[in-house]
Amino acid sequence: MNVCDWVDKFWKAYFFRCMAKFALYAHLKAKPEKRAEVEAFLKSALPLAQQEKQTITWYAFAEDEGSYGVFDTFDTEAGRQAHLDGPIAKALMSKASELLAEPPQIHKITLLADKH
Protein backbone atom coordinates (compact mmCIF):
# COMPACT_ATOMS: atom_id res chain seq x y z
CA MET A 1 0.00 0.00 0.00
CA ASN A 2 1.51 3.36 -0.98
CA VAL A 3 1.24 6.54 1.07
CA CYS A 4 -1.71 7.94 -0.89
CA ASP A 5 -3.65 4.69 -0.49
CA TRP A 6 -2.96 4.74 3.24
CA VAL A 7 -3.97 8.40 3.59
CA ASP A 8 -7.13 7.87 1.55
CA LYS A 9 -8.09 4.80 3.55
CA PHE A 10 -7.48 6.13 7.06
CA TRP A 11 -7.27 9.93 7.15
CA LYS A 12 -8.96 11.54 4.14
CA ALA A 13 -11.97 12.67 6.14
CA TYR A 14 -9.77 14.40 8.71
CA PHE A 15 -6.70 15.89 7.05
CA PHE A 16 -6.30 15.73 3.29
CA ARG A 17 -6.75 13.47 0.34
CA CYS A 18 -4.51 12.59 -2.54
CA MET A 19 -5.45 13.82 -5.99
CA ALA A 20 -8.21 12.01 -7.82
CA LYS A 21 -6.92 10.37 -10.98
CA PHE A 22 -10.02 10.03 -13.15
CA ALA A 23 -12.76 12.42 -14.23
CA LEU A 24 -15.75 12.81 -16.53
CA TYR A 25 -16.89 15.89 -18.37
CA ALA A 26 -20.32 15.81 -19.99
CA HIS A 27 -21.42 18.63 -22.30
CA LEU A 28 -25.18 19.03 -22.68
CA LYS A 29 -26.96 21.25 -25.21
CA ALA A 30 -30.57 21.85 -24.20
CA LYS A 31 -33.40 22.30 -26.64
CA PRO A 32 -34.33 26.01 -26.42
CA GLU A 33 -37.73 25.31 -24.88
CA LYS A 34 -36.27 22.80 -22.39
CA ARG A 35 -33.55 24.89 -20.69
CA ALA A 36 -35.42 25.22 -17.40
CA GLU A 37 -36.10 21.48 -17.35
CA VAL A 38 -32.42 20.67 -17.97
CA GLU A 39 -31.41 22.97 -15.12
CA ALA A 40 -34.01 21.38 -12.83
CA PHE A 41 -32.82 17.90 -13.82
CA LEU A 42 -29.20 18.76 -13.03
CA LYS A 43 -30.11 20.28 -9.66
CA SER A 44 -32.24 17.24 -8.82
CA ALA A 45 -29.28 14.92 -9.48
CA LEU A 46 -27.23 16.30 -6.57
CA PRO A 47 -28.71 13.98 -3.90
CA LEU A 48 -27.97 10.99 -6.13
CA ALA A 49 -24.37 12.14 -6.61
CA GLN A 50 -24.01 12.62 -2.85
CA GLN A 51 -24.95 8.95 -2.35
CA GLU A 52 -22.24 7.69 -4.71
CA LYS A 53 -19.38 6.71 -2.42
CA GLN A 54 -16.87 6.48 -5.29
CA THR A 55 -17.69 9.92 -6.73
CA ILE A 56 -15.24 12.33 -5.09
CA THR A 57 -16.53 15.60 -6.54
CA TRP A 58 -19.57 16.37 -8.70
CA TYR A 59 -20.38 19.70 -10.32
CA ALA A 60 -23.29 20.65 -12.55
CA PHE A 61 -23.03 24.04 -14.24
CA ALA A 62 -24.30 26.34 -16.98
CA GLU A 63 -21.69 27.12 -19.64
CA ASP A 64 -23.53 29.61 -21.80
CA GLU A 65 -27.05 30.08 -23.05
CA GLY A 66 -28.51 26.60 -23.41
CA SER A 67 -25.25 24.73 -22.78
CA TYR A 68 -24.60 22.86 -19.56
CA GLY A 69 -21.93 20.64 -18.16
CA VAL A 70 -21.24 18.08 -15.50
CA PHE A 71 -17.75 17.45 -14.15
CA ASP A 72 -16.98 14.73 -11.64
CA THR A 73 -13.87 13.06 -10.24
CA PHE A 74 -13.01 9.55 -9.09
CA ASP A 75 -10.10 7.74 -7.49
CA THR A 76 -10.44 4.68 -9.70
CA GLU A 77 -11.62 3.67 -13.15
CA ALA A 78 -14.09 1.34 -11.42
CA GLY A 79 -15.59 4.32 -9.60
CA ARG A 80 -15.92 6.24 -12.83
CA GLN A 81 -17.55 3.28 -14.54
CA ALA A 82 -19.94 2.78 -11.60
CA HIS A 83 -21.03 6.40 -12.05
CA LEU A 84 -21.54 5.90 -15.80
CA ASP A 85 -23.65 2.82 -15.02
CA GLY A 86 -25.51 4.56 -12.18
CA PRO A 87 -28.86 6.27 -11.73
CA ILE A 88 -27.84 9.77 -12.86
CA ALA A 89 -26.53 8.56 -16.22
CA LYS A 90 -29.53 6.27 -16.70
CA ALA A 91 -31.95 9.12 -15.97
CA LEU A 92 -30.09 11.48 -18.29
CA MET A 93 -30.03 9.00 -21.15
CA SER A 94 -33.74 8.22 -20.71
CA LYS A 95 -34.58 11.95 -21.06
CA ALA A 96 -31.88 12.93 -23.57
CA SER A 97 -34.06 12.95 -26.69
CA GLU A 98 -36.77 14.91 -24.87
CA LEU A 99 -34.52 17.55 -23.29
CA LEU A 100 -31.39 17.83 -25.42
CA ALA A 101 -30.80 19.24 -28.90
CA GLU A 102 -28.01 16.69 -29.47
CA PRO A 103 -26.73 13.59 -27.70
CA PRO A 104 -24.62 14.32 -24.60
CA GLN A 105 -20.90 14.51 -25.28
CA ILE A 106 -19.18 12.52 -22.53
CA HIS A 107 -15.41 12.75 -22.18
CA LYS A 108 -13.30 10.44 -20.02
CA ILE A 109 -10.44 12.44 -18.55
CA THR A 110 -7.21 11.47 -16.80
CA LEU A 111 -6.24 14.18 -14.31
CA LEU A 112 -2.61 15.29 -14.34
CA ALA A 113 -2.47 17.90 -11.56
CA ASP A 114 -4.74 19.69 -9.13
CA LYS A 115 -4.79 22.41 -6.49
CA HIS A 116 -6.90 22.02 -3.39
Domain map (residue ranges) of the chain: 23-110
Alpha carbon 8 to its chain's center: 20
List, for residues 6-40, the tens digit of each pLDDT value: 566 665 555 556 789 999 999 999 999 999 999 99
Helix (H/G/I), strand (E/B), else coil: 98: helix
Task: Determine the average pLDDT of the residues in 92-113.
Answer: 96
Mean pLDDT (the chain, rounded): 90
Q: What is the pTM of this model?
A: 0.82
Q: Could you tell me how many helices (H) and strands (E) the chain has, helices first?
A: 5, 4
Residue 80: per-residue pLDDT: 97
> 4 or 22: which carries more pLDDT confidence?
22
- Tell me phi and psi for residue 69, to 5 degrees: -145, 160
Please tell me the distance from the alpha carbon of residue 57 to that of residue 96, in angstroms, as a whole number. 23
CATH code: domain 23-110 is 3.30.70.100
The percentage of the chain sitting over the pLDDT mark of 70, rounded to a whole number, equals 84
**Confidence band of 98 (pLDDT split at 50, 70, 90):** very high
Q: Which of 17, 21, 5, 18 has its CA nearest to residue 111?
A: 21
